[in-house]
Amino acid sequence: MTFETIRAKDIENYIGRYNVLIIDLREPNEYDNAHIPTAINIPYLDFENKKSTLPSERLLILYCDRGNLSLLLARELSKEGYQVKNIYGGIRAYRGQLVK
């Protein structure tokens, strides 16, 4: 399997879609401070424990602070058969409205 890296501005095309799960991999305090609309928080270090709860039929879009951790995790998940995209540059590259 392969995964795609998308530009931060392209996330606007996925927000609110029923078949997409946007996942913020940052720590809860960072997520609480500001996150992309509709994103859920699963910290990178907790992801392995929560992975089994993820719906396999949905597209997973991952982001972190700068895009490094989400890139690593996207590679891993794509090898396991998940449909996954990574946001290039993470939340720092995102210029849209954030939710608190």
Residue among 19, 29, 20, 32 at smallest CA distance from 87? 20
- Active-site option among 64, 71, 87, 91: 64
Indicate if 66 belongs to the active site: no
Distance CA 4, CA 39 (A): 18
The separation between CA 74 and the C-alpha centre of its own chain, rounded to angstroms, equals 9
Catalytic residues, by residue number, are 64
